[in-house]
């Protein structure tokens, strides 16, 4: 009988759980009285509340609070929307970060107990360091040549190669498109592309597996830069633009230099720019370096090899 008792719950808390779930339309179909719960016209039964908690991935006890709890990411938040930082993480993002943090804590304890030394490259760089020097340090640690990307055929092969080298250096790399093993909880690329948990014993990189391969490559490079700077964070890198933060901007520059080294790009650009099909030029370079054409375009512009007027003329 207890399961049929109607519970006085806060509509504000129900609304909060609904927003965090990211499944409003789906839950409104599953719970026909949901709108009336939110309006306070009808109270849910205990059994309904238990089902609602399960489907919104919220502990049942939280739904008995009078006001929503304040939940924050345990790492720096560099996700953006337009010019503003996104402050409210979804339940899927929160649970994924906490899951990786638990794995990291276990691995860190194990490595310390086994007498492993801390990894010297974690936090070895600063935002004021020369970008080329930091990128070279990352490549050296991973055992990659400047032109390594040209030696593999596809983006997936390139990613697999870097993943192996990163893991061999003692960095845990996880690429997943869902929360844990729950296929119904798909991770939203528009919310975040990845995050990194910097630690001198057990650094962790997480990449949203739902992203395009070329985007995953840039995310991986960006996260490696975070580890070299010793700074944890979660980011979306919308249009490859970092948040307005010194660390994020430095990581983007390091990632770009790591993936598209200045000295290698300069060897390609002069001859390629003779091609009148400007789009083909960038696509060809993107295949060489295993990045997106957008990364190539930004590198060429930032290096001053072409200007915006040249771009407009060639693409008109």
For residues 94 and 165, state if they share a domain: yes
One domain for residues 238 and 279: no
Q: How many distinct structural domains can be found in the chain?
A: 3
Shared domain for 85 and 214, answered yes or no, is yes
- What is the per-residue pLDDT for 239? 63
Q: Both tokens of residue 208?
A: 């949203």
- In a domain, residue 72? The reply is no
Same domain flag for 29 and 110: no
Is 69 a member of any domain?
no
pLDDT at 275: 53
pLDDT of 3: 57
Domain around 88 = 77-259
106 in a structural domain: yes
Q: Do 34 and 122 belong to one domain?
A: no
CB 228 within 8 Å of CB 124 = yes
Q: Is 21 helix (H, G, I), strand (E, B) or coil?
A: helix
The pairing of strands 77-78 and 233-235 is: parallel
Give the Cα-Cα-Cα angle 49, 51, 56 (nearest 5 degrees): 95
Q: Tell me, what's the pLDDT at 314? A: 46
What's the CA gap between 9 and 294, in Å, rounded?
A: 49
Q: Give domain status of residue 26, yes or no.
A: yes
d(CA 254, CA 290): 16
Same domain, 245 and 279: no
At residue 270, the pLDDT reads 62
Q: Based on the domain organization, do 133 and 221 belong to the same domain?
A: yes
Q: Scan for tokens 């030394």, then name that residue.
A: 117
Residues 303 and 249 grouped into a single domain: no
Show pLDDT as tens, one digit a residue, over the chain (316 residues). Answer: 455 678 889 999 899 888 888 788 888 889 988 898 999 888 999 899 999 988 988 888 888 888 888 888 888 888 775 545 556 788 899 999 999 999 999 999 999 999 999 999 999 999 999 999 999 999 999 999 999 999 999 999 999 999 999 999 999 999 999 999 999 899 999 889 999 999 999 999 999 999 999 899 999 999 999 999 999 999 887 766 777 789 999 999 999 999 999 989 888 776 555 555 667 788 888 999 999 988 988 888 887 776 554 444 444 4
Tell me the C-alpha to C-alpha distance, in Å, between residue 120 and each of 27, 170, 174, 240. Answer: 48, 11, 22, 29
Q: Is residue 174 part of a domain?
A: yes
Indicate if 82 and 186 belong to the same structural domain.
yes
Note the pLDDT of residue 87. Answer: 61
């Amino acid at each position: 009988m207890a399961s049929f008792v109607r519970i006085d719950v806060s509509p504000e808390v129900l609304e909060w759980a609904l927003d965090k779930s990211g499944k409003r339309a789906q839950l409104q179909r599953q719970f026909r009285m949901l709108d009336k719960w939110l309006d306070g016209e009808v109270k849910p039964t205990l059994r309904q509340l238990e089902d609602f908690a399960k489907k919104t991935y919220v502990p049942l006890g939280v739904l008995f609070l009078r006001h929503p709890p304040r939940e924050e990411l345990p790492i720096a938040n560099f996700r953006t929307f337009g010019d503003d930082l996104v402050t409210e993480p979804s339940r899927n993002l929160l649970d994924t970060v906490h899951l990786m943090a638990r794995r990291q804590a276990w691995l860190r304890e194990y490595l310390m107990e086994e007498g492993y030394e801390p990894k010297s490259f974690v936090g070895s760089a600063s935002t004021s360091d020369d970008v080329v020097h930091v990128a070279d340090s990352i490549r050296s640690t991973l055992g990659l040549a400047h032109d390594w990307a040209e030696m593999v055929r596809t983006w997936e092969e390139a990613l697999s190669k870097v993943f192996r080298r990163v893991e061999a250096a003692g960095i845990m790399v996880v690429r997943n498109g869902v929360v844990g093993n729950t296929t119904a909880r798909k991770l939203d690329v528009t919310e975040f592309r990845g995050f990194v948990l910097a630690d001198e014993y057990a650094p962790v990189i997480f990449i949203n597996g739902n992203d395009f391969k070329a985007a995953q490559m840039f995310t991986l490079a960006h996260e490696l830069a975070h580890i070299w700077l010793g700074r944890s964070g979660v980011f979306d890198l919308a249009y490859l633009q970092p948040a307005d933060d010194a660390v994020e901007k430095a990581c983007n520059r390091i990632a770009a230099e790591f993936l598209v080294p200045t000295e290698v790009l300069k060897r390609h650009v002069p001859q390629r720019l003779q091609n009148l099909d400007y789009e083909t030029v960038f696509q060809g370079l993107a295949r060489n370096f295993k990045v997106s054409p957008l990364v190539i375009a930004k590198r060429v512009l930032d290096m001053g090899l072409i200007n915006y007027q040249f771009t407009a003329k060639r693409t008109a």
